[in-house]
């Protein structure tokens, strides 16, 4: 394994009733002013809002609400939250939702105490925030992104049409109660779970093929994610499957899979820019792009893709070549995506903008090209991939 430094910043409270059991003690140790952040209001329909507000009031907290955080959170929304946090001198931000809510709040917590504009600081000057952030806690109601387990955030700047990763505040604690995910529709559950699978694959297919523990753990995470997604196809409310998927989501993004190795994440870069131009669902965009991207690069790493086919999909490879086994693994991935009812073509995505070749050219030309994969892509090849996805 390559050299690494590993630190785990988030304390996790996992299981049924985790908020009722643990949040009172957490709140007792925090300041009096809490920002309760959430999305479109589904937590008011499923009872989570009432439960959490009751705990906050019982703890004597003054609550400021920051609502309406959208999928693919925008820089403008970050600025709105920052203004609230500064005006109300917030002591703790409680982000209730999935990755979008948590990511938005990570940057709010950092920007609220930072004089410099963080987009300019990080995305233009490539510098990190320097001041301690407002403490952040996450209550996960939609798993898949693993956002509660790290300090990274994905934010869309609509003015410049860039959807990019920023580094801000890692949650001090996370409440992971699988029951909180039960009201989600199947499409959201499965697209979120596919994001987990994507995170594990993007790490696994980084250009670092010496045998290591991280790859073995990644295979286990992928196997578990696939198995439990299949379970949900027959029983969407299976608690064991929901709990396993909530934890594989956390495992895929808490850093454990990434230690001692390079990662790829080129597929995420392509989808981020697709999302910046179309606001498509992140997990569904990844589902469309992954098989096409992997067909472009699998011949450059036939041995690793063949291992993926054997160890993750159970393809023996007997009687066929390493390259044929590798391609069979990619086909198994595409068949799985189709079996889950996820999109396999860009034309199947629900977007605010029509996806045309001209738009895909803009997406390709603005995609961040990484160097951790098996082959360095060009903007022209990204365009080829996107056109094959259309």
CA distance 299 to 308: 13
Please indicate, yes or no, whether residues 257 and 145 belong to a single structural domain of this protein. no
Quote the Cα angle for 259-264-270, to 5°: 140
Quote the Cα angle for 45-191-340, to 5°: 115
Out of 131, 149, 181, a domain closes at: 181
Please indicate, yes or no, whether residues 237 and 314 belong to a single structural domain of this protein. yes
Q: Per mean pLDDT, which range of 59-63, 261-265, 306-310 is the poorest?
A: 261-265
Residue 127 domain flag: yes
Cβ atoms of residues 8 and 259 within 8 Å: no
What contacts 34, CB < 8 A, 6 or more positions away?
Answer: 27, 56, 61, 62, 63, 64, 90, 91, 92, 93, 94
Out of 124, 152, 181, a domain closes at: 181
Domain that includes residue 217, residue range: 186-389
**Cross-strand partners of 33:** 62
User: Into how many domains does the chain fold?
Assistant: 2
Say how far residue 59 (Cα) sits from the centre of its chain: 31
Cβ atoms of residues 179 and 168 within 8 Å: no
Residue 102 domain flag: yes
Give tens-digit pLDDT for 28-57.
999 999 999 999 989 999 999 999 999 999
Out of 139, 156, 181, a domain closes at: 181
Please indicate, yes or no, whether residues 337 and 190 belong to a single structural domain of this protein. yes
Please indicate, yes or no, whether residues 259 and 161 belong to a single structural domain of this protein. no
**What's residue 203's pLDDT?**
95
CATH number of the domain at 246, please. 1.20.1090.10
CA dist 4 → 256, 258, 383 (Å): 11, 9, 35
Please indicate, yes or no, whether residues 143 and 213 belong to a single structural domain of this protein. no
Residue 88 domain flag: yes
Please indicate, yes or no, whether residues 378 and 255 belong to a single structural domain of this protein. yes
Sign of CA dihedral 357, 359, 361, 364: negative
Q: What is the mean pLDDT of the chain?
A: 96
**What's residue 4's pLDDT?**
74
């Amino acid at each position: 394994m390559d050299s690494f430094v590993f630190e785990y910043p988030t304390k996790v409270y996992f299981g049924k009733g985790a908020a009722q059991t643990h949040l009172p003690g957490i709140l007792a140790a925090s300041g009096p002013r809490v920002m309760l952040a959430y999305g479109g209001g589904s937590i008011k329909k499923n009872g989570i809002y009432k439960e959490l507000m009751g705990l906050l009031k019982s703890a004597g907290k003054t609550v400021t609400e920051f609502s309406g955080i959208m999928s693919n959170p925008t820089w403008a929304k970050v600025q709105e939250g920052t203004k609230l946090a500064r005006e109300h001198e917030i002591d703790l931000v409680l982000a209730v939702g999935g990755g979008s809510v948590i990511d938005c709040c990570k940057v709010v917590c950092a920007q609220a105490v930072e004089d410099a504009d963080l987009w300019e600081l990080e995305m233009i000057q490539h510098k990190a925030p320097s001041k301690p952030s407002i403490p952040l806690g996450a209550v996960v109601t939609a798993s898949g992104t693993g956002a509660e387990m790290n300090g990274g955030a994905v934010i869309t700047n609509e003015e410049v049409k860039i959807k990019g990763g920023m580094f801000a505040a890692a949650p001090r604690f996370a409440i992971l109660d699988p029951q909180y995910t039960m009201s989600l529709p199947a499409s959201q559950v499965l697209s979120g779970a596919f994001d987990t699978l994507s995170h594990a694959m993007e790490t696994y297919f980084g250009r670092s093929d010496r045998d290591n523990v991280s790859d073995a753990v990644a295979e286990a995470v992928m196997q578990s994610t696939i198995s439990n997604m299949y379970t949900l196809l027959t029983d969407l409310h299976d608690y064991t499957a929901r709990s396993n998927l909530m934890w594989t989501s956390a495992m895929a993004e808490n850093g454990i899979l990434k230690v001692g190795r390079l990662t790829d994440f080129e597929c995420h870069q392509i989808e981020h820019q697709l999302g910046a131009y179309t606001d498509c669902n992140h997990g569904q965009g990844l589902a469309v792009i992954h098989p096409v991207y992997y067909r472009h690069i699998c011949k450059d790493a036939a041995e690793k893709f063949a291992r993926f086919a054997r160890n993750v999909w159970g393809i023996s490879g007997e009687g066929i070549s390493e390259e044929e086994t590798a391609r069979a693994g990619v086909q198994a991935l595409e068949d799985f995506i189709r079996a889950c009812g996820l999109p396999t073509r860009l034309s199947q995505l629900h977007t605010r903008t029509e996806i045309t070749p001209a738009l895909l050219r803009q997406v390709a030309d603005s995609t961040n090209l990484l160097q951790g994969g098996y082959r360095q892509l060009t903007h022209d090849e990204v365009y080829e991939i996107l056109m094959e996805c259309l």
